[in-house]
Amino acid sequence: MSKTRAREKDGEGTTRLKKSERRRLILLELKLRPHVRISDLSDRFNVSTETVRRDLDALSDDGLIARAHGGASAPTQGHYPSLDERVTARIEQRERIGRRAAELVNEGETVMIDSGSTTIQMARALAYLGTPCTVITNSIPVAMTLGHGAPQVLLCPGEYLAAESAVIGTETLEFLSRFNVDRCMIGSSGVSAEGPSETVQGFAAVKRMMLQRAERRHLLIDSQKFGRKGLAQVGEMSGLSSIVVDARPKGALLSALVAGNVDIIVTED
């Protein structure tokens, strides 16, 4: 984005950054130093401290920063398996989920697919089926898997997250916001009665945007993640159209799915 497009004039003719550009620069600052202060950011961007607080709250909700007294810092969290570690676990279950999810896609549809070990399996199944469709994704492995098949692939721009072979951030969200699609296929770190949640930095925001832009919204998740809660909440259960799983949920999770009118699609052995 050019600096001309990224800036707006306030009532007094002073040049101000757009919200998306401010937030991108805040993230850049946290790559260069461990902590940023609200007062310093307010002076730098020529906006009120309340505006900066809203920026920091939004970035915190997306799991991109950690809020701290008077400012923010880079997020710290316990070890969560990388994509390379996850793709070798529970392969049979994720393959079944991926195949069943791929069967939901109809010829000519547009589909958003997010980054994850299970969605990669879905992409492989979709490539095998050869369904003519358009796929929009932030996952490099998903794009590469589909790149030589029938689907047309649009890869999001954004900040490269090496451990996940994916892109995240403001540019990714802005790109996704331009499209209205038939379906989205997302995974998550966990799903509880409150809904899906995510631990990987920046992924919750991408999933939320995909859910917002899709007419039908599918969560692909294996039963080992039932009852787990990730760092950032993705959304409420009622925001899903269906959940594609390898085993039928029970207890509070099942009750929440039924109350949210979410279809439960259980794969066959």
**Highest mean pLDDT pick, 77-81, 94-98, 197-201:** 94-98
8 Å CB contact between 62 and 56: no
Do residues 202 and 245 both lie within one domain?
Answer: yes
- C-alpha distances out from residue 84 to 74, 87, 88, 120, 182, Å: 23, 6, 7, 12, 30
Residue 78 domain-assigned (yes or no): no
Residue type present at position 226: F
Do residues 42 and 174 both lie within one domain?
Answer: no
Q: How far apart are CA 140 and CA 138, in angstroms?
A: 7
Do residues 147 and 34 both lie within one domain?
Answer: no
Do residues 218 and 243 both lie within one domain?
Answer: yes
Greater model confidence, 9 or 70? 70
Please state, rounded to an integer, the average pLDDT across all residues of the chain. 86
What's the angle, vertex CA 93, arms to CA 186 and CA 135, rounded to 5?
Answer: 30
Do residues 65 and 140 both lie within one domain?
Answer: no
What pLDDT digit, counting tens, does each position of 255-264 carry?
999 999 999 9
Domain count, the chain: 2
Residue 191 domain-assigned (yes or no): yes
Q: How far apart are CA 151 and CA 166, in angstroms?
A: 19
What pLDDT digit, counting tens, does each position of 114-170 carry?
999 899 999 999 999 999 999 999 999 999 999 877 789 999 999 998 889 999 998
Do residues 46 and 174 both lie within one domain?
Answer: no
Question: How much is the average pLDDT of 59-63?
Answer: 74
Question: How much is the average pLDDT of 217-233?
Answer: 91
Question: How much is the average pLDDT of 164-188?
Answer: 95
pLDDT for the residue numbered 1? 39
CA-nearest of 196, 182, 173 to 244 is 196
Residue type present at position 268: E
Do residues 110 and 220 both lie within one domain?
Answer: yes
**End of a domain among 73, 101, 128?**
73
Residue 201 domain-assigned (yes or no): yes
For 148, residues 6+ apart whose C-beta sits below 8 A from its C-beta are 127
Do residues 131 and 171 both lie within one domain?
Answer: yes
What is the spatial order of strands in the sheet that 66-68 belongs to?
Answer: 35-37, 71-73, 66-68
- State which residues form the domain around 32: 3-73
pLDDT for the residue numbered 34? 77
Do residues 100 and 147 both lie within one domain?
Answer: yes
CATH number at residue 122: 3.40.50.1360
Neighbour count for residue 144 (Cβ, 10 Å): 14
Beta bridge partners of 76: none
Do residues 105 and 238 both lie within one domain?
Answer: yes
Do residues 175 and 106 both lie within one domain?
Answer: yes
Do residues 23 and 147 both lie within one domain?
Answer: no
pTM attached to this predicted model: 0.73
Question: How much is the average pLDDT of 18-44?
Answer: 84
